[in-house]
Amino acid sequence: MDELQVVVDRVYNRIMAEPLEGKVADYIPALACVAPDRFGIALQMLDGRLATAGDAFSPFSIQSISKLFSLVLALQTWGDELWERVGREPSGTAFNSLVLLEQENGLPRNPFINAGALAVTNAIVSRFALPDRAIIDFLGHLAGDIKLVFDDTVFRSEYVHGDRNRAIAYFLKAHGRMENPVEAVTTAYFKQCSIPMSCVDLARAGLFLATGGKTLKGNQIIGPVEARQVCSLMLTCGLYDGTGDFSFRVGWPGKSGVGGGILAVIPGRGTACVWSPPLTEKGNSVRGMRALELLARALENGEL
């Protein structure tokens, strides 16, 4: 058996033997229905090797992991001008907080909190006639030219219970930082968050960030400078106000979602994606963080 698979199996079995901790997100009702014991790992290396365990091929709602890819799409179309719309600093507050927006004249701290993601989605809406289709097609292309769909149940659940995100969007608009209708921006945002993908899909989609912005087929998605900058933002802001702890424990750039997924970049080596629905109080997968910590230790020990 390949040594990569041996390590992934060992990490999976170790995590499964530990008590299940955390709480499945329930503020989006469609997510509350997901079985808490689902757990998958996918490790995709640049040399083509793929190791998986558990529910690695099962699609789940990517939620805020989509913010990573919408950011890259916006960078493709706006370049450095995008940073006039959103900052690059950690927030230190909850991902759906409005506190700093009021203090800082409506400029979101970074693109991975909800305010920043809405600002990025607004930028995409300004450049694409069908922004939600642009995002899902871009993701499908990165994942290996696969066909992706929106999960209508999750989308409707987010749409009906999305008043806080609408409030954030209206706050941005009141400060002159959103030129498009709030309804158009929030609808595109809810749709991108609803996309179901598997750990394997996401690991493949994020692989360009481990190679300086280029796919394994040689297509340049973003430049090496932009790829480094995106990874830096993942390292400092990718897991909301739990990013510092994740960076301390794992040390890889990562992006989480309240669906229980975490996508991590192993610079120069590959990507890892984990999925387990129960979350910490700060919205990050308990088992996912633990699994990535064990994988990072295996890499440091020369096992990967």
HSE-CB of 242 using CA atoms within 13 angstroms: 20
**Helix, strand, or coil here: 155?**
helix
* Residue 240 annotated as binding site: yes
Q: For residues 292 and 298, what is the distance between their CA atoms, to the nearest angstrom?
A: 10
Q: Give the chain's largest Cα–Cα span.
A: 58
72's tokens: 């890259």
Catalytic residues: 64, 67, 189, 240, 258
HSE-CB of 274 using CA atoms within 13 angstroms: 28
* Residue 64 annotated as binding site: yes
* Residue 122 annotated as binding site: no
Q: For residues 108 and 91, what is the distance between their CA atoms, to the nearest angstrom?
A: 9
* Residue 105 annotated as binding site: no
Instruction: Give all strands (DSSP E) within the chain, no chain letters.
Output: 40-45, 50-54, 60-61, 196-197, 254-256, 261-266, 270-275
* Residue 96 annotated as binding site: no
Q: For residues 216 and 178, what is the distance between their CA atoms, to the nearest angstrom?
A: 36
Q: For residues 36 and 108, what is the distance between their CA atoms, to the nearest angstrom?
A: 32
* Residue 258 annotated as binding site: yes
CA 51 to chain centre: 20
Q: For residues 101 and 286, what is the distance between their CA atoms, to the nearest angstrom?
A: 29
271's tokens: 């990507």
CA 15 to chain centre: 22
Q: For residues 255 and 265, what is the distance between their CA atoms, to the nearest angstrom?
A: 9
Q: For residues 198 and 196, what is the distance between their CA atoms, to the nearest angstrom?
A: 7
Residue list for the binding site: 64, 114, 158, 165, 189, 240, 258
User: Binding site for substrate: what residues are annotated?
Assistant: 64, 114, 158, 165, 189, 240, 258
